[in-house]
Amino acid sequence: MNKLHIFTPVKDSLETSLKTIESVMNSEIAVDYNYTVYNDFSTDETTEKLEQAAEKLGFTLVNLKDISMHPSPNYLMILQTAQRRANFEDAHLLIIESDIIVEKNTIQQMYESVSTLENPGLIAAITRDSNKKINSPYLFAKRYTSKVISTKRELSFCCTLLTQSFLTSYNFDILNSERTWHDHFISNKSIELGFKNYLAVSMPVTHLQHSIYPWMHLKKTQPFKYYWKKLTGKFSDK
């Protein structure tokens, strides 16, 4: 039986990050798992609060400033580190970003779905807002009624499980280091390698959308303004 390695990357946004962490630590998980929070050069205040939470709740906290001089964001380094650990432990990898609130049984259900689905590469939980309405990035799935659907649409890493089979088939060390985000590329790579990707409509999570990075919030709330800024070189979303 595979283990499960869960991780959450954190860059400030303390309130939502703590809610995410608490929801994970309060989950009902039967499988052997570990949970790591990667603190990506947050402020001293956030770091102190995370250290206090780690001592209280019992998760593993990795402060990237203690092991790297590379400036934030370090999502690629986190992905590569987590993959190596998951492969060493023969574990599936579950990414839960720091604006996601999981239900008590979400993690266990996602783990169990690996053995019931055909050749899964990635399995993503559908996201909803606090009013239980499906929100970004899965607005396209509003029409779906099936519990779990196979999809060739790009998946986000909001709350996504990467199976051990996929992790051993593609090495994250060769990902493009010039890009900051890799979820869409990895979801496409999974299909390219012959795996199937799934969106779990029956395993909803709450997406608070803290928008740590300004461009992310602008893209979701004011897309026309976002693309204008991007075209005029005001910022980049590599």
Q: What is the pLDDT of residue 72?
A: 86
Q: Where are the domains of the chain?
A: 3-207, 211-238
236 by Cβ neighbours in 10 Å (0-12 / 13-18 / 19+) ranks as exposed
Is residue 108 a contact partner of residue 27, using CB atoms and an 8 Å limit? yes
**Mean pLDDT to the nearest integer, 159-165:** 98
Identity at 3, one-letter amino acid code = K
Q: What is the pLDDT of residue 218?
A: 54
The CATH number that domain 3-207 falls under is 3.90.550.10
Hunting for tokens 């049984």 — which residue is that?
Answer: 105
Q: What is the pLDDT of residue 212?
A: 45
**Mean pLDDT to the nearest integer, 47-76:** 94
Q: What confidence tens digit (pLDDT) does each residue in 69-83 have?
A: 888 889 999 999 999
Q: What is the pLDDT of residue 145?
A: 80
Given a cut of 90, is residue 229 above it in pLDDT?
Answer: no
Is residue 83 a contact partner of residue 172, using CB atoms and an 8 Å limit? yes
Global confidence as pTM: 0.88
- 90-94, 165-169, 225-229, range with the lowest pLDDT: 225-229
Given a cut of 60, is residue 175 above it in pLDDT?
Answer: yes
Given pLDDT bands bounded at 50, 70 and 90, which one contains residue 221? low
Given a cut of 50, is residue 176 above it in pLDDT?
Answer: yes
Is residue 13 a contact partner of residue 210, using CB atoms and an 8 Å limit? yes
Q: What is the pLDDT of residue 58?
A: 97
Given a cut of 80, is residue 223 above it in pLDDT?
Answer: no
Helices 44-57 and 14-25 cross at an angle (nearest 10°) of 10
Residue, of 60 and 208, whose pLDDT is higher: 60
Q: What is the pLDDT of residue 225?
A: 60
